[in-house]
Amino acid sequence: MVPTLSTIGLSRTHICRFGAPAIHAVDPAIFSRRYFMRCMACGFCNDQCCNHGVDIDVGNAERLIALGPEFEARVGVPRENWFSTAPETDLEFPTGGYLRTQVRGGKCVFAARGGRGCIIHAYCFEKNLDYHALKPLVSILFPLTFENGVLVPSSEIADGSLVCGGNGPTLYDGVREELRYYFGDDFVCELDQLARR
């Protein structure tokens, strides 16, 4: 995608530490749209963002499967039912393709049953594992996402369907440190300068 009037081109392409995605432009809406960032402090959304499942890098899915029976028991669904059956090719994902997490009972298969939040994130916290290696990149960056090399608000922000949209920090401020983790200090420095404009 060539930056248009609705996007801001960056000084260079910034590549994720995992090799993809590569971001060359941003939608300026990431600096003005807002959301309730403190997910686990929310008492009004019922984890709405987990209702549809999520795209997950193929390599990421393989790492989850490799966690074995203990994690499988924690999920409570057989591992063969965690993901869509056929990977889709997409070079914006680190291993060049993605699967979709399945939905069970109206929630992502990895949503905590009878509780709040993500089983993957909770498991990583309990086992002292880096969640960046196991939790889907798209989930970590939510409510931002990437499309054709452009960092943009997720569709739920764009269409107004995200119940936690509207109050709190900007989308950028909410995931700034995650962007730093994936894309580095130079990326965040450049976005900070754009945000100040």
Query: What is the tens place of the pLDDT at every residue in 75-103?
Result: 999 999 999 878 999 999 999 999 999 99
pLDDT in tens, 117-146: 899 999 999 999 999 999 999 999 989 999
Q: How far apart are the C-alpha atoms of 42 and 97, rounded to whole Å? A: 33
In sequence order, what DSSP letters do the residues of 96-139 get, joined into one string? Answer: SEEEEB-EETTEETTBPTTSSSBHHHHHHHHHT--GGGTS-HHH
pLDDT in tens, 188-197: 999 999 999 8
Structure tokens at 100: 């979709």
Lowest mean pLDDT among 77-81, 155-159, 162-166, 170-174: 162-166
**Pick from 109, 116, 95: which is nearest to 43 by CA?**
116
Residue 1 pLDDT > 60, yes or no?
A: no
Higher pLDDT, 106 or 78: 78
Read off the pLDDT of each residue in 155-169 and give the average, rounded to a whole number.
70
The reported pTM is 0.89
DSSP element (H, E) containing 186: helix 185-196
Residue 39 pLDDT > 80, yes or no?
A: no
Structure tokens at 190: 């450049």
SS (H, E, C) 56-79: EEHHHHHHHHCCCHHHHHHHCCCH
**Segments making up each domain of the chain, as ranges:** 8-196
Q: What average pLDDT does the chain have?
A: 88
% of the chain surpassing 70 pLDDT: 86
Residue 44 pLDDT > 80, yes or no?
A: no
- Give the CA distances from residue 98 to residues 28, 31, 59, 124, in Å, rounded to whole numbers and listed in that order: 27, 28, 8, 21
Residue 68 pLDDT > 70, yes or no?
A: yes
Surface-to-core class of residue 59, CB atoms within 10 Å of its CB (0-12 exposed, 13-18 middle, 19+ buried): middle
Residue 74 pLDDT > 80, yes or no?
A: yes
